[in-house]
Amino acid sequence: MGPVSAPTVYDVAERSGVSIATVSRVYRNPDSVRAQTREKVMEAARELGYVPSGSARGLASRTTGVLGLCFPDYADPDAESAAAASDADDDQAVMLYSDQIIRGMERAARRHGYALLIAASLDGGPESLVAKVAGRVDGFAVLARTVPTADLEVISRRLPVVMLAGPREIDHLDHIVVANTEGERELTRHLIEDHGLRRLAFVGAEEESPDAQARFRGFQEACRDAGLPVPSRPEVRAGMMTQAEGALAADALLDRSEGTGVERPEAMLFANDQMAVGALQALERRGVRVPEDIAVTGFDGIPLSRLVRPPLTTVRQPIRRLGEQAVELLVQRLADPGRAPVSLELPVSVTRRASCGCG
């Protein structure tokens, strides 16, 4: 039958003829209760269908055993049928990214005995989802730009918060980024030095994406180091870092050179893999060969990047590690709330595949 009014410690205590303290001990520290008593209690609990109330425990013990994650979900949660039915490509970028963080955090959390509470951020009144999460966890991670800084300011005074993959908006928070700039610089250097390419076009994204910005900086640095002209802004800016936008960007770049006398770029460097994959498709449609006619690169190292034809040269980003590290930082800070704020930069690595002309 369905759930009935929930039994409490008192019910179990009464049924097994002990006090509530003993019932509590059986669950929190079984060894502190004589085996015989423990059995009595556990049997009564089984018979009654007793499950300890997490809320009551949390209240009494002042800890929840749960860590949280707030991430953005660009997809409209109401557009379910369309998205689910077609597994819309446009979703994949964000999805893969946050999914991997979730998985990384879940694993690391489990190692430390925590469960994971996740919520895509949503703007709202004083009762935003963020506040809800914040009240139910011992600490949590926030993907950049998902929670208003003002809210974070308040919340971070009450519990540990670690900021992921973005600018450090609040300087007393722990903070993790990946080496976007270094990675793109190294990738660009590879194209220039090892493949002798000169006319490079960087495809960025909306200005607000700090990742895309940092990667563009790396691109600039490599150009400068090589003595090439240093563009002050990306050649093209996509709106959403999706496959569709990547295809559009590639088309735009080619159109630009076909009509006019401008020479076609020798390489397109995309701010992420999704766009690069879309570009590969667009190029194939136009009969432009990769890498013979033009080199293409991405950034992130998502699984797709290895499976497309040609396999995509990219910069592998340890996304899952990002989630794991977030948990580690949270756990460490819970153990030592007083320590100085930590800022980590996770290393990335250039993955050379066929799309740039490598093996």
The site string for DNA over 56-95 (x = CB under 7 A, - otherwise) reads: xx-xxxx---------------------------------
8 A C-beta contact, residue 248 and residue 238: yes
Q: Is 171 in the site for a copy of itself (CB under 8 A)?
A: no
H or E element, residue 346: strand 343-346
In the sheet that 236-238 helps form, which strands lie side by side, from edge to edge?
236-238, 200-205, 267-270, 295-297
Q: Is 33 in the site for DNA (CB under 7 A)?
A: yes
The DSSP call for residue 154 is: H
Interface residue with DNA among 14, 48, 52, 225 (CB under 7 A) is 52
Dihedral angle, C-alpha 320, 321, 322, 323, nearest 10 °: 60
Q: Is 333 in the site for a copy of itself (CB under 8 A)?
A: yes
Q: How far is CA 318 from CA 182, 314, 345, in A?
A: 14, 13, 11
If contact means CB under 5 to 8 A according to the sort of partner, which of a copy of itself, DNA, none does residue 36 touch? DNA
8 A C-beta contact, residue 50 and residue 11: yes
CA distance linking residue 280 with residue 232, whole number of Å: 25
Residue of 211, 186, 215, 183 lying closest to 202 (CA atoms): 215
H or E element, residue 238: strand 236-238
Interface residue with a copy of itself among 39, 53, 82, 289 (CB under 8 A) is 53
**Residues between 125 and 184 with contacts to DNA, criterion CB under 7 A:** none
Interface residue with a copy of itself among 99, 186, 225, 251 (CB under 8 A) is 99
The site string for DNA over 225-244 (x = CB under 7 A, - otherwise) reads: --------------------
If contact means CB under 5 to 8 A according to the sort of partner, which of DNA, a copy of itself, none does residue 271 touch? none
Interface residue with a copy of itself among 18, 26, 163, 294 (CB under 8 A) is 26
Q: Which one, 259 or 338, has the nearer CB to a copy of itself?
A: 338
The DSSP call for residue 313 is: B
Interface residue with a copy of itself among 21, 82, 154, 230 (CB under 8 A) is 154
Q: Is 288 in the site for a copy of itself (CB under 8 A)?
A: no
Interface residue with a copy of itself among 14, 20, 37, 52 (CB under 8 A) is 52
CA angle 101, 107, 108 (to 5 degrees): 90
Binding site for DNA (CB under 7 A): 6, 8-10, 17-22, 24-25, 27-28, 32-34, 36-37, 50, 52-53, 55-57, 59-62
